Amino acid sequence: MTPFDFLNSINDNKKDLFKDDPLAYKDYAPFIVNRGLSYFVDTVMYANEMNRMSHIDKKWQFSFLLNSIPKKKRFSKWYKKDKEDKYFSMVREYFGYSNEKAKAALNVLTDEQLNDIERKIYKGGK
């Protein structure tokens, strides 16, 4: 069972998965479910409350969300980091910088300097 099954149950079909499947307890990931609910204005406060009360049993958390959130079709794309800038890792390696310093350096370096760093870092191969 995936976290999306739990989200669909909470948002759309209102089916108690803990009652139907004895292994649901093992598959339920409160953090992921709360993250999925945090994308919507009408459910973000419920997700925040469950994050605050993370010590509560998983079944109780699911029951609270299942019975509190109104039935509605909700869909959003999950936030993912953009593909790492091709120069970001090169600047980190070349200068030995942390992530923050590498981001700052990218704002200062010119395209010519970045291409020069790329040539110096290039290791060859396929």
27's enclosing H/E stretch is helix 24-27
Amino acid identity of 61?
Answer: Q
Closest CA to 70 of 39, 24, 48, 37: 37
Cα-atom radius of gyration of the chain, to the nearest Å? 22
What pLDDT, on a 0 to 100 scale, did the predictor assign at position 84?
Answer: 54
The predicted model gives 95-112 an average pLDDT of 89
pLDDT surpassing 70 at residue 16: yes
pLDDT band at 1 (very low <50, low <70, confident <90, very high): confident
> For 44-80, what is the HEC assignment?
HHHHHHHHHCCCCCHHHHHHHHHHHCCCCCCCCCCCC
Are the C-beta atoms of residues 57 and 28 closer than 8 Å to each other? no
What pLDDT, on a 0 to 100 scale, did the predictor assign at position 111?
Answer: 86
* Torsion angle of C-alpha atoms 93, 98, 101, 107, degrees rounded to 10: 50
pLDDT band at 81 (very low <50, low <70, confident <90, very high): low
DSSP letter, residue 9: I
